[in-house]
Structure 1
Amino acid sequence: MQRAIDGFFRLLEFLVVVCMAAMVVMVFGNVVLRYGFNSGISVSDEMSRYFFIWLTYIGAMVAMREGAHLGVDTLIKHLPLNGKKVCFFLSQSLMLFCNVLFFMGTYEMHELQVTNISPVVGISMIWIYGIGYVVSVVMGIINIDKLWRLFRGKVPDHELIQIMESEEQVLDTAAHGKVAQ
């Protein structure tokens, strides 16, 4: 099962790279065409925006799994172990609640987005904003897993502080391929 989960997140990381590369190619190509040849490709502007939306949400899922979101831990790092566990429980529960709200909001907007067609590409906007379903479910599963591990006593003390204090920590974690489980 862990291999399948790792494979899924490797796929997400690959999609982030693909979205970023596609954005760079489309925007750079459009800039060259506009300034060099006084023309442009209207599809590239719209698609690069859509790729940016997907890149942001997919990257958020990967960052959540790796514990790579930046935050402030000034209070939590001074708490005793039980206080850290309570804060961990509260933060995971609040994030789970936000994911439920995100899913419900995406669901409520679904009917409108299905019939709303993008101006240039001509696709249903649910293909763009439907990422909310994926993000809320994946992040919700991560929250549930962390809560389950907390109740079973399987969360190591160092994971109770779930954020990275600095960009250097994020880069160091990414460089060494560490994943918070």
Structure 2
Amino acid sequence: MSLKKFILKLLGNIEEYLAEALLACFVVLLFVQILLRQFFQYSLPWGEELATYMFVWFAYLGATVAAKMSAHNRVTFQFNFTPPIVRKVCMALADLLWVCFNLYFVYLSYDFVFNRMNLFWKSQTLGLPMKYFYVILPIAFTLMSIRILWNNYLTLVKGVNLVDPETEEIEKLKHSATAQQ
């Protein structure tokens, strides 16, 4: 694999890699906490706080991964009774509203984290500035907006039919059940 392809793959999946690493780290950290409490009557004072912040980062990065996969929950049943073009237009408008909300939230969270947050606000046990924990807000909503816009580009311009993983799995199960009969 060439370096260019490797870098593009890394950048294309960065949220997934970070979310996986955070999930593994906070699960291991909580497991160590449980072992320390049960067997040594000791716990890491900073462990739960760090695990909580890691979980928050994991959740926001997971939301960007879901946006990338077009896997966010939507009510789309009503579109089964409309022509495909109406479905595409309505979904694009809904995504445009979603991106507008995200960008407004990026503005608000960026302003909060970088302009209004006091530098002396520190986490209780880690002693780190809270800015490091809250910076996920503008990052995640920016990445989510990029992923939503990219999915709309693929759908509307390139004609790619994006299907969320659950719908794809349901269709596979239907086909395998039909084939067995």
Please indicate the TM-score interval, normalised by the length of the shorter structure. Answer: 0.7 to 0.9
Gaps of 5+ in 1: 173-181
- Matching residue of 1:176: none
Report the CA distance shift for 1:114/1:67 in structure 2 as closer, same or farther (over 3 A): farther
Aligned residues: 166
- TM-score normalised per structure 2: 0.78
- Contact 1:70–1:166 under 8 Å retained in 2: no
- TM-score normalised per structure 1: 0.78
Identity %: 25
3-state DSSP of counterpart to 2:77: coil
CA deviations on 1:90-118 (whole Å, 9 max, x unpaired) are 11111111111220221232131644211
Counterpart Cα distance in 1 of 2:109 and 2:97: 18
- Contact 2:64–2:147 under 8 Å retained in 1: no
Report the CA distance shift for 1:163/1:66 in structure 2 as closer, same or farther (over 3 A): closer
- Contact 2:69–2:165 under 8 Å retained in 1: no
- Matching residue of 2:130: 125
- Coordinate RMSD, CA, aligned: 2.6
| Structure of higher RCO (CA pairs closer than 8 Å, 6+ residues apart) | 1
Q: Following superposition of structure 1 onto structure 2, how do residues 156-175 of structure 1 map, counting pairs within 5 Å?
A: 156=160, 158-159=161-162, 168-169=169-170
Deviation at 1:26, TM superposition (A): 1.1
Of 108, 116, 121, 2:111 maps to 108
**Correspondence 1:45 to 2:64:** no
Q: What amino acid does structure 2 have at the position aligned with 1:154?
A: K
Gaps of 5+ in 2: 174-181
Whose radius of gyration is greater, 1 or 2? Answer: 2
- Matching residue of 1:54: 57
Of 91, 116, 141, 2:146 maps to 141
3-state DSSP of counterpart to 1:117: coil
Of 119, 134, 158, 1:154 maps to 158
